[in-house]
Amino acid sequence: MSNSSRVDAYIAKAGEFAKPILSHLRKAVHRACPDVVEEIKWGRPFFVHRGVILCGMAAFKQHCSFMFWGAEIRELLRQDGLLEEDGMGSFGKITSIEDLPSERKMLGFLRQAVVFVDEGQGQTFMAASRTPAKPPKPTVEPPPDFLSALKRNTAASKIFAAFSQSCRREYVEWIAAAKKNETRERRIQQAVDWISEGKQRNWKYMAGPN
């Protein structure tokens, strides 16, 4: 069994009640998948097979958790009536080894998780670790009164069209935030004046030292 010193340290720092639970889970994973690789990610141990996360475990102040990663194996647990749906891992809050499925059942689920990975199912470790990209913000459309004011000033209209989406958005949001009509009209006129001079909404804060 190839153990990671970082996982050794994680278990050593866990509460006394948690150490036998974590050691038991770790041993079961290695029995089911002898070539599993141990990693510490997000501050807790994960077990990786062929670059794909099989499962992970964690210790808290009063309980431990164990989570199968793949959707396929979680569906099998659900069908077996074992999967907890409270966000506390695959078996809910674990306070002792007795809270886990029998050793035979646990090994069966772990080995099935390995099969799923060998068949090309599951999520690669790097893909799982990557922060999902934020969807792009929608294109900014100036409100009609602002657009009319821009059209009356050729220079401002051309410069505004050449601004980046973020620059245009700053002006549009500034105008939209006005609570009174007088304030809105004043901001529209100020915006057109600044834009005609090539200035972004926050140009004052972007100016260099004198």
Relative to beta strand 52-59, strand 37-41 is: unpaired
CA-to-CA dists, residue 182 to 50, 175, 176, angstroms: 64, 11, 12
Show me where the domains of the chain are located. 5-129, 144-206
pLDDT score of 87: 54
Q: Mean pLDDT in the chain? A: 82
Residue 51 zone, left/alpha/beta (φ > 0; ψ -120 to 50; rest): left
- Least confident stretch, 77-81, 132-136, 152-156: 132-136
pTM, rounded to two decimals: 0.55
* Domain covering 5-129, topology: Aspartate Aminotransferase, domain 1 (3.90.1150)
